Amino acid sequence: MADGNFLAEQFREHRPRLRAVAYRMLGSLSESDDALQEAWLRANSALERDPEQEIRNYDAWLITIVARVCLNMLRTRTQRREDSLEVHIPDPVVCAEDETNPETLALTADSVGLAMMIVLDTLAPAERFAFVLHDMFAVPFEEIAEVLEKTPATARQLASRARRRVEGRAPVPDPDLATQRAAVDAFFAAARNGDFEALVAVLHPDVVLRADGGRLRARGGVVLTGAETVASQAALARNLAPFVRPVLVNGTPGAFATQNGVPLALLAFTVVGGKVVEMAIINDPVRLEEIAKTLGEETTLA
């Protein structure tokens, strides 16, 4: 038997892991916080209805509640992209390179880089639910099936289908941060010097660049592929180079640029084999303001 105070202690203790579940499910930091608030209300209500129930594993119980809330949010989420050509990059987790906050570290653990989050965003709700819970948080298929109102075999198939898509489209970054940072530094050095050949050399031949300008920009976003095509757009990186500071974006090296207190862009890189295989650029003013606040930077609205 547990009372509200004990539940509150358990929720605080497991919050970093619970928020990590919500973030992987939703790809939105604000929606993840909303999901945790709703999960807390549901958990508290469940104990009030049945204070005698025996909960042997609070971590697993709370994860299931959070994931159920997130599944409902995914199913009812309004069409944010509206089936247009709009490019949407999930919310990045941005921090200093010496970050030690346990909640931030939980959000970026297990190589869940921005490239992975982009692929997760393309999965159907049930696929995402099964894959995230089983592959990332070791929830048994029997429990996943109960929430989905499917058989365990069907839940297993959903996770397998999602896994194949993730493995085929989400590159795993090099494990060594120093190697990744060296490639990012080489990219900016080549851009700063206008060295097209050096820029192409640090990019994978099939590199993909996604830029998300948000709804306030005339062009919501763009996707470019190929080393020479991406390198031809280096003017942006050259203009930003004097104003960037190194940061970690979902656990991998990136850069945040500000000028005179105005956030300009966030750049995230996925480096595999010493080459940049994916780049994500966020220049949405609204999201950049939030990132600046997270980093503790004082900003001046443009």
DSSP codes, 94-144: EE-TT---HHHHHHT-TT--HHHHHHHTTS-HHHHHHHIIIIIH---HHHH
Same domain, yes or no: 192 and 281: yes
Kindly state whether residue 275 falls inside one of the protein's structural domains. Answer: yes
Geometric angle at alpha carbon 117, from 183 and 149, rounded to 5°: 155
- Which residues, 6+ apart, have CB-to-CB distance to 201 below 8 Å? 190
Same domain, yes or no: 92 and 198: no
Same domain, yes or no: 54 and 163: yes
Kindly state whether residue 97 falls inside one of the protein's structural domains. Answer: yes
Same domain, yes or no: 136 and 207: no
Kindly state whether residue 302 falls inside one of the protein's structural domains. Answer: no
Nearest to 4 by CA among 64, 53, 45: 45
Greatest alpha-carbon span in the chain: 69
Kindly state whether residue 300 falls inside one of the protein's structural domains. Answer: no
Same domain, yes or no: 185 and 144: no
Q: Which of 169, 202, 229 is the last residue of a domain?
A: 169
Same domain, yes or no: 216 and 248: yes
The reply to whether the predicted model has a pTM over 0.85 is yes
Kindly state whether residue 158 falls inside one of the protein's structural domains. Answer: yes
Length of the chain: 302
- Residue 141, both tokens: 């298929």
Same domain, yes or no: 185 and 253: yes
Distance of CA 106 to the CA centre of its chain: 12
Same domain, yes or no: 194 and 288: yes
Same domain, yes or no: 25 and 143: yes
Kindly state whether residue 85 falls inside one of the protein's structural domains. Answer: yes
pLDDT, tens digit only, all 302 positions of the chain: 556 688 899 999 999 999 999 999 999 999 999 999 999 999 999 988 887 777 889 999 999 999 999 999 999 875 554 444 567 899 999 998 888 888 888 888 776 889 999 999 999 999 999 999 999 999 999 999 999 999 999 999 999 999 999 998 889 899 899 999 999 999 999 999 989 999 999 999 999 999 998 765 545 578 999 999 999 887 788 888 889 999 999 999 999 999 988 999 999 999 999 999 999 999 999 999 999 999 988 666 54
- Other beta carbons within 10 Å of 19: 20
Instruction: Tell me the helices (H) and strands (E) count for the chain, helix number first.
Output: 14, 7
Kindly state whether residue 262 falls inside one of the protein's structural domains. Answer: yes
Q: What is the CATH number of the domain that holds 210?
A: 3.10.450.50
Q: Which of 139, 169, 199 is the last residue of a domain?
A: 169
Q: Which of 120, 141, 169 is the last residue of a domain?
A: 169
Same domain, yes or no: 116 and 202: no
**Rounded Cα–Cα distance for residues 152 and 202 (Å):** 45
Distance of CA 160 to the CA centre of its chain: 21
**Rounded Cα–Cα distance for residues 38 and 75 (Å):** 16
The range of the structural domain enclosing residue 75 comes to: 4-169
Same domain, yes or no: 117 and 239: no
Kindly state whether residue 299 falls inside one of the protein's structural domains. Answer: no
Burial of 280 (0-12, 13-18, 19+ CB in 10 A): buried
Residue 161, CB half-sphere, CA atoms under 13 Å: how many? Answer: 15
Nearest to 196 by CA among 229, 230, 231: 231
Same domain, yes or no: 131 and 192: no
Structural domain count of the chain: 2
Q: Tokens 């159907």, residue?
A: 124
Q: What is the CATH number of the domain that holds 130?
A: 1.20.140
- Backbone angles phi and psi of 233, in degrees to 5: -95, 20
- Report the DSSP beta bridge partners of residue 212: 221, 282
